[in-house]
Amino acid sequence: MAGADKDLPQKSSKTAIDAFVKQVRSMPVIKSGQQRGRLMFALDATASREPTWDRACRIQGEMFTETAALGGLDIQLCYYRGFGEFEASPWLSSADALLQRMTSVSCRGGRTQIEKVLRQAIEQTKQKKVQALVFVGDCMEEDVDHLCHLAGQLGMLGVRTFLFHEGAEPGARRAFEEIARLTRGACCSFGATSAGQLRDLLSAVAVYAAGGQQALQDFTKDRSEVVRKLTRQLGKD
Separation in Å, CA 174 to CA 60, 170, 229, 232: 25, 6, 25, 28
C-alpha 226/C-alpha 102 separation (Å) is: 27
Supply the pLDDT for residue 237.
34
CA atoms within 13 A on the CB side of 107: 18
CA angle at 104 for the pair 102 and 107, rounded to the nearest 5°: 80
C-alpha 221/C-alpha 237 separation (Å) is: 19
Supply the pLDDT for residue 33.
44
* CB-based contact 165:191 (threshold 8 Å): no
Q: How does pLDDT run along the chain (237 residues), one tens digit per residue? A: 333 333 333 334 455 555 554 554 444 444 444 568 899 999 999 988 877 776 666 666 666 665 655 667 888 999 999 999 999 999 988 877 887 888 888 889 999 999 999 999 999 999 999 988 999 899 999 999 999 999 999 999 989 888 888 888 999 999 999 998 898 877 877 765 566 667 777 777 777 777 766 777 777 776 666 566 545 543 333
* CB-based contact 45:105 (threshold 8 Å): yes
Supply the pLDDT for residue 4.
36
Supply the pLDDT for residue 141.
96
Supply the pLDDT for residue 1.
36
C-alpha 180/C-alpha 182 separation (Å) is: 6
C-alpha 119/C-alpha 150 separation (Å) is: 7
Separation in Å, CA 17 to CA 121, 203, 210, 211: 23, 14, 19, 19
Supply the pLDDT for residue 63.
65
Give the Cβ contact number of residue 4 at 10 Å: 9
- Residues constituting the chain: 237
Give the Cβ contact number of residue 105 at 10 Å: 16
Supply the pLDDT for residue 29.
43
* CB-based contact 185:19 (threshold 8 Å): yes
Domains of the chain by start residue, with CATH: 36-232 (3.40.50.410)
